[in-house]
C-alpha cells in the first residue's frame, strides 16, 4: 500500500494537466438509474483521453539513458496520442507504430510528433529479390 501511495504522490501528471478534469452531472442518466451519475470530462485534456496521464508520467520518469534512447509505442489510438504528446512535450524522440487499419483521426493526430526510432530499435530489412 505504501509503495502505491508513494507512486501517486510522485506522479508528474500535474506538469501536463495542472487542473483535475471536472466532473459534470448527467441528470437524465441519473434519473433513469435512480443514482447520481457524474461524467469525468477527459475530453477536456489536450488529447481528449485519460491515456495522457500514464504515458506522460512514465516518460517523465525516464532516466537520462532512457531519454537519450527515445520511446516507441505500438497503438491504434489514444495511447499512441498520449505517448506522442508526452514525448514531444518532454523533448524526447518518439516513434509510434500503428496498424494500417488504425482510424485516420488517430493516425493524423499522432503523426506530426514522431521522429526517427531509438537506436535500440532495428528496422526489419526486406529480402532482396534474387
Separation between Cα atoms, residue 92 and residue 72, nearest integer Å: 11
**Model pTM score:** 0.68
pLDDT digits (tens, 9 = 90+) for 42-85: 888 888 888 888 899 999 999 999 999 999 999 888 888 999 99
C-alpha cell at 49: 483521453
pLDDT: is 9 or 122 the higher one?
9
Per-domain boundaries in the chain: 14-108
- Going by pLDDT thresholds of 50, 70 and 90, the confidence category of residue 110 is low
pLDDT: is 69 or 120 the higher one?
69
Domain 14-108 class in CATH? alpha beta
Q: Classify 24 as helix, strand or coil.
A: strand
Separation between Cα atoms, residue 106 and residue 108, nearest integer Å: 6
Amino acid at each position: 500500500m505504501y509503495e502505491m501511495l508513494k507512486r501517486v504522490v510522485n506522479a508528474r501528471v500535474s506538469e501536463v494537466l495542472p487542473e483535475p478534469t471536472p466532473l459534470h452531472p448527467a441528470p437524465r442518466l441519473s434519473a433513469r438509474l435512480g443514482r447520481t451519475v457524474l461524467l469525468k470530462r477527459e475530453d477536456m485534456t489536450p488529447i481528449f483521453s485519460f491515456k495522457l496521464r500514464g504515458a506522460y508520467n512514465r516518460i517523465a520518469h525516464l532516466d537520462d539513458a532512457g531519454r537519450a534512447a527515445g520511446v516507441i509505442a505500438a497503438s491504434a489510438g489514444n495511447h499512441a496520442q498520449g505517448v506522442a504528446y508526452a514525448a514531444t512535450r518532454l523533448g524526447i524522440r518518439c516513434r509510434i507504430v500503428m496498424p494500417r487499419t488504425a482510424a485516420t483521426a488517430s493516425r493524423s493526430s499522432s503523426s506530426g510528433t514522431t521522429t526517427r526510432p531509438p537506436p535500440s530499435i532495428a528496422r526489419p530489412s526486406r529480402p532482396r529479390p534474387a
